[in-house]
């Protein structure tokens, strides 16, 4: 009953955005520990350069993990991210006894920094699977951890773990257990910590929202450019193909054999459709009509910008459907009309991509008009 009540209580809690900074010396196992928290599979791990961001949803927290690279200057490089952090994970290679003085020096500098002092600290005593690894209690003494956290007034917890072993099992991951403790510690003073983050990075929530919108608009512009390149390339290729095919139907200059084959094919189409004779359409006229349409629409697809391309696309699609109908009518095998089927599909794809782009532009314009109208109404009210 108690577990059910706790579960119901957690559901009622708001989703909180928490940024956690993962730091430590090089080869301490920061990336493996991060993967353990993410429940990621064991894979090849290389040295982290700069800062890599990961997102994780854990209970009522949306966690942004900042995995910073190690190396001799990692403190200088990671300093720019101090203001964003609600809490800190410091990863220690507990088997590397020779570097404990270096670990202590970095940890001292970390906790003395005004943007991190007072923020919850999780120390992951990594590589506990090794024989010479220091225990958690031994690390507390070696690093003078109690003294450091008392001076910085930070909540602290040390979690002995093995990131490598965590990645080989699904449940009871020590790295994830440590992260849960850190999130609970952050939640105890979330309002004050969040206010510090906003102040330290010098951004209001409104500005952060604007930045998010700017990023989404940038992605939309990038997608628009990619779609435009796709449409232009497809239009150019299709246009050249239909100019070539239409020319073969109209004149033997490109290929006498292909021209003769076209003449024979269209004679068979005219015989299979006796209604064409009643309309006065001979096989020669039918071939020239289709050839002229293909050449004209191919030129439009290749050279003319804007809406005429879509009209040409639609007309060529109708021509391909007519050609497929002719082939079926005379009982041709698939290899005789496979090209018409393929290019009919390509024309359909090009038309759909173009229509989607147009609809998105229209939606964006409507949105802008609505926003402008709302701003005008606000000005009038004020």
> Per-residue pLDDT for 181 more than 60?
yes
* pLDDT greater at residue 306 or residue 359: 306
Same domain, 59 and 134: yes
pLDDT of residue 231: 79
C-alpha dihedral over 25, 31, 32, 38, to 10 degrees? 140
Same domain, 303 and 344: yes
**DSSP-derived secondary structure for 127-143:** -TTSTTPPPHHHHHHHT
| pLDDT 10s digits, 334-347 | 888 888 888 888 88
Q: Give SS3 for 100.
A: helix
Annotated binding site for GTP: 24-31, 70, 126-129
Quote the radius of gyration of the chain (alpha carbons, Å): 34
Please list, in sequence order, all residues whose beta carbon lies within 8 angstroms of the beta carbon of residue 375, skipping any fewer than 6 positions away: none
- Answer yes or no: is 4 within a domain: no
pLDDT band at 156 (very low <50, low <70, confident <90, very high): very high
Instruction: List the domain range (segments joined by +) for residue 69.
Output: 12-202
Q: What is the mean pLDDT of residues 83-111?
A: 91
pLDDT of residue 368: 62
**Residue 87 maps to which CATH number?**
3.40.50.300
pLDDT band at 381 (very low <50, low <70, confident <90, very high): very low
Helix-, strand-, coil-residue percentages of the chain, each rounded to 5:
65, 10, 25
Q: What is the mean pLDDT of residues 356-380?
A: 58
Same domain, 135 and 252: no
Tokens in use for 255? 């290929």
Residue 91: beta bridge partners? 24, 124
Q: What H or E segment, with its residue span, contains residue 123?
A: strand 121-126
Same domain, 159 and 218: no
**Least confident range of 15-24, 140-149, 195-204, 217-226:** 217-226
> Per-residue pLDDT for 148 more than 60?
yes
- Answer yes or no: is 284 within a domain: yes
Is residue 286 within 8 Å of 276, Cβ to Cβ?
yes
**Least confident range of 175-184, 208-217, 252-261, 348-357:** 208-217
Same domain, 236 and 326: yes
Tokens in use for 240? 């050249």
Q: Give SS3 for 17.
A: strand
- Answer yes or no: is 381 within a domain: no
Write down the pTM of the prediction.
0.52
Q: State the pairing for strand pair 51-58/61-68.
A: antiparallel
Please list, in sequence order, all residues whose beta carbon lies within 8 angstroms of the beta carbon of residue 212, skipping any fewer than 6 positions away: none
pLDDT band at 226 (very low <50, low <70, confident <90, very high): low
- Answer yes or no: is 80 within a domain: yes
Annotated binding site for Mg(2+): 31, 48
pLDDT band at 378 (very low <50, low <70, confident <90, very high): very low
Q: What is the mean pLDDT of residues 192-209?
A: 71
Question: Buried b vs exposed e over 273-285: b needs ≥16 C-beta within 10 Å?
Answer: beebeeeeeebee
Nearest alpha carbon to residue 269 among 217, 336, 314, 215: 336
**Least confident range of 90-99, 165-174, 373-382:** 373-382
Q: What is the mean pLDDT of residues 201-215?
A: 55
State how far the Cα of 66 lies from the Cα of 52, in Å rounded to an integer. Answer: 6
Q: Give SS3 for 57.
A: strand
- Answer yes or no: is 330 within a domain: yes
pLDDT of residue 20: 92
Same domain, 347 and 236: yes
- Answer yes or no: is 5 within a domain: no
Total domains in the chain come to 2
**Sheet with 61-68: strands ordered across:** 51-58, 61-68, 16-24, 87-93, 121-126, 156-160
State how far the Cα of 39 lies from the Cα of 267, in Å rounded to an integer. Answer: 68
- Answer yes or no: is 382 within a domain: no
Annotated binding site: 24-31, 48, 70, 126-129
Same domain, 261 and 189: no
Same domain, 266 and 198: no
Same domain, 39 and 135: yes
Same domain, 240 and 295: yes
| pLDDT 10s digits, 257-283 | 888 888 888 888 888 887 777 788 888
Last residue of a domain, one of 174, 202, 230: 202
pLDDT of residue 47: 60
Last residue of a domain, one of 179, 202, 225: 202
Q: What is the mean pLDDT of residues 122-133?
A: 91
**Least confident range of 17-21, 117-121, 359-363:** 359-363
| pLDDT 10s digits, 164-178 | 887 777 667 888 899
Same domain, 363 and 253: yes
- Answer yes or no: is 6 within a domain: no
**DSSP-derived secondary structure for 165-206:** HHHT-SS--HHHHHHHHHHHHHHHTHHHHHHHHHHHTT--HH
pLDDT of residue 258: 87
125 φ, ψ (degrees, to nearest 5): -80, 85
Last residue of a domain, one of 202, 226, 254: 202
* pLDDT greater at residue 322 or residue 378: 322
State how far the Cα of 196 lies from the Cα of 190, in Å rounded to an integer. Answer: 10
> Per-residue pLDDT for 73 more than 70?
no
pLDDT band at 45 (very low <50, low <70, confident <90, very high): low
Same domain, 171 and 219: no
Q: What is the mean pLDDT of residues 243-269?
A: 87
Q: What is the mean pLDDT of residues 25-29?
A: 86
State how far the Cα of 55 lies from the Cα of 62, in Å rounded to an integer. Answer: 7
Nearest alpha carbon to residue 28 among 84, 108, 100: 100
pLDDT of residue 207: 46
pLDDT of residue 44: 55
């Amino acid at each position: 009953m108690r577990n059910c009540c706790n579960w119901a209580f957690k559901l009622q809690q708001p989703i909180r955005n928490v940024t956690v900074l993962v730091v430590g010396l090089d080869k301490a196992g920061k990336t493996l520990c991060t993967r353990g928290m993410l429940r990621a599979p064991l894979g090849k791990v290389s040295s982290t350069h700069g800062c890599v961001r990961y997102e994780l949803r854990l209970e009522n927290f949306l966690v942004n993990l900042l995995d910073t690279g190690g190396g001799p200057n990692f403190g200088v490089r990671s300093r720019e991210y101090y203001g964003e952090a609600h809490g800190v994970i410091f990863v220690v290679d507990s088997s590397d006894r020779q570097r404990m003085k270096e670990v202590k020096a970095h940890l001292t500098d970390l906790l003395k920094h005004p943007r991190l002092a007072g923020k919850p600290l999780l120390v992951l005593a990594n590589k506990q699977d090794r024989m010479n690894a220091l225990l958690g209690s031994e690390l507390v003494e070696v690093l003078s951890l109690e003294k450091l956290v008392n001076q910085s007034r930070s909540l602290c917890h040390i979690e002995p773990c093995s990131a490598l072993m965590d990645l080989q099992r699904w449940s009871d991951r020590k790295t994830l257990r440590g992260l849960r403790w850190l999130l609970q510690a952050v939640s105890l003073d979330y309002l004050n910590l969040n206010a510090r983050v906003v102040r330290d990075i010098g951004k209001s929530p409104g500005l952060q929202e604007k930045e998010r919108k700017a990023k989404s608009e940038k992605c939309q512009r990038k997608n628009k450019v990619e779609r435009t390149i796709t449409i232009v390339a497809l239009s150019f290729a299709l246009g050249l193909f239909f100019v070539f095919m239409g020319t073969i139907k109209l004149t033997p200059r490109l290929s006498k054999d292909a021209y003769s084959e076209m003449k024979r094919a269209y004679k068979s189409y005219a015989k299979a459709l006796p209604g064409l004779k009643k309309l006065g359409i001979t096989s020669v006229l039918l071939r020239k009509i289709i050839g002229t349409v293909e050449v004209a629409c191919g030129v439009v697809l290749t050279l003319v910008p804007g809406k005429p391309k879509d009209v040409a696309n639609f007309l060529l699609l109708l021509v391909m459907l007519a050609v497929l109908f002719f082939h079926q009518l005379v009982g041709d095998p698939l290899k005789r009309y496979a090209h018409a089927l393929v290019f009919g599909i390509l024309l359909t794809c090009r038309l759909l991509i173009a229509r989607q782009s147009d609809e998105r532009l229209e939606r964006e314009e409507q949105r802008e008009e609505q926003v402008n109208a709302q701003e005008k109404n606000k000005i009038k009210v004020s």
